[in-house]
Amino acid sequence: MKPFEGVFGRLAPDPKLAEATLRRVVEGCSVLRSDESRRREIAALLLDANERAHQAMREDDPRYWYWRCRALEIGWVANVLSNILVANGMLPIGDMTAHGRLKAAEIIGVEADHG
């Protein structure tokens, strides 16, 4: 759990909350490493969220921005998780970006090489 401690110590000022959050993240990453069906569920959730956002746009839904932001939030989580999975030799859930890779590196405790 050591690589995650710095990140969650800064995000949650209450040490008990930081510890509980850290424990859930480590457990979640362990589940994703060992359970292909969980990775498929996240991919399906991302696909569904994007489809719902496109539907809202086509239908001129007044809640379009709710659906678009939901899809972007799920996409960000999938992006970061994908980078963590790839770093562990597994296939990604979805698209990966440099920002997602930086956040994944921060979470797993990789420091940047400033040459």
For residues 30 and 20, membership in a common domain is answered with yes
Domain membership of residue 114 (yes or no) is: no
Q: What contacts 71, CB < 8 A, 6 or more positions away?
A: 46, 49, 50, 52, 53
For residues 85 and 58, membership in a common domain is answered with yes
Convert 3-33 to b/e letters by CB count within 10 Å (16 or more is b).
Answer: ebeebbeeeeeeeeebeebbeeeeeebeebe
Domain span at residue 7?
1-34
Q: Count CB-CB contacts under 10 A for residue 70.
A: 16
Domain membership of residue 115 (yes or no) is: no
Greater confidence, 71 or 4?
71
Tell me what pLDDT residue 77 has.
87
Q: What is the pLDDT of residues 80-115, one digit of tens each?
A: 889 988 988 888 998 999 999 998 888 777 765 555
For residues 51 and 66, membership in a common domain is answered with yes
For residues 14 and 70, membership in a common domain is answered with no
For residues 42 and 81, membership in a common domain is answered with yes
Tell me what pLDDT residue 48 has.
95
For residues 76 and 102, membership in a common domain is answered with yes
Give the whole-angstrom CA distance, residue 98 versus residue 61.
Answer: 32
For residues 47 and 100, membership in a common domain is answered with yes
Give the whole-angstrom CA distance, residue 25 versus residue 107.
Answer: 9
Stated pTM of the model: 0.69
What is the DSSP-derived secondary structure letter of residue 110?
Answer: P
Q: What is the pLDDT of residues 34-56, one digit of tens each?
A: 677 888 888 999 999 999 999 99
